[in-house]
Amino acid sequence: MDFRILSIGALGAHPLWNEHAPVRTGHTTTTLIRTGKRCIIVDPGLPPQAVAARLGERSGLSPGDITDVFLTSFLPEARRGLAAFEHADWWISGDEREQVGVHLAQQAIKLRQLSPSDEDRDDEERALMRALEHDISVMQRCKPAPDRLAEHVDLFPLPGVTPGSCGLLLSAPRATILVCGDAVPTIEHVERGQVLAGAIDLDRAKESFQEALEIADVLIPGRDNAMANPARRGF
């Protein structure tokens, strides 16, 4: 099993840099994991052409070589490049799929009740319905991931930022690596012991943050580069 960072993510506005409004396009850190015959992309946050280019630059692989895509959450900034991997299996945690999927369906039903036909909707409502229908179709394509996604690659639930946020725990001979998603956003959040602003459940987000620091030797944050876990001084 081996892994490498394809693209380092970024927050649209980094609150720990005293940014309070978006100053850049936010996107997640994208990781490639290779184990056995499986090539797994985690959180393709860049647009399809860009993530395909990063894949070639960092690994020599093409999108057709990718067997699986795993989303640590259903946040738009974690899945912008999904279309580059049409032939892969798309995975997400069962909790995220169920809870976010139900929310999307409820929003679509509510909009249809207010405006039953497309002719009844104004431009804003039409755009919202198209976005909802697209998100629902993507969620339907995503399969609930098993507890063990592949050899040496296990799901590690990290709920809080979203209802079913979930990382991947990678077992290497000399270290345990955790792909954190936004449960652990950046090195500044680790240094200050803070979770991402806007978490849907702050208490659960804090618990997940602490669990990540307790288990991993190496952290792959959702919006930063891989780093040795400063909480595990013996590593």
Average confidence (pLDDT) over 198-216 = 97
pLDDT of residue 81 exceeding 70: yes
Domain co-membership, 86 together with 160: yes
Q: What's the number of domains the chain is made of?
A: 2
Domain co-membership, 101 together with 208: no
**7, part of any domain:** yes
Find the CATH number of the domain harbouring 179: 3.60.15.10
pLDDT of residue 163 exceeding 60: yes
Domain co-membership, 161 together with 131: no
Domain co-membership, 128 together with 84: no
Domain co-membership, 26 together with 122: no
Average confidence (pLDDT) over 12-21 = 95
Domain co-membership, 11 together with 73: yes
Q: Which of 121, 140, 159 is the last residue of a domain?
A: 140
Domain co-membership, 14 together with 104: no
Instruction: State pLDDT tens for residues 105-148.
Output: 999 998 888 777 777 677 888 888 889 999 999 999 999 999 99
- Binned at pLDDT 50, 70 and 90, residue 180 comes out as very high
Compute how many other C-beta atoms are within 10 angstroms of the C-beta atom of residue 136. Answer: 15
**DSSP states of the chain:** -EEEEEE--B-SS-GGGT--S--S--B--EEEEEETTEEEEE---S-HHHHHHHHHHHHS--GGG--EEEESS--GGGSTTGGGGTTSEEEE-HHHHHHHHHHHHHHHHHHHHHS-SGGGS-HHHHHHHHHHHHHHHHHHHSEEPPSEEETTEEEEE-TTSSTT-EEEEEE-SS-EEEEEETTS--HHHHHHT-PPTT-SSHHHHHHHHHHHHHH-SEEEETTS--EE-TT-TT-
Q: What is the mean pLDDT of the chain?
A: 95
- Domain of residue 122, residue span: 95-140
Domain co-membership, 99 together with 77: no
**235, part of any domain:** no
- Quote the pLDDT of residue 235: 46
Average confidence (pLDDT) over 77-88 = 98
**234, part of any domain:** no
Instruction: State pLDDT tens for residues 42-51.
Output: 999 999 999 9
Q: Which of 109, 140, 171 is the last residue of a domain?
A: 140
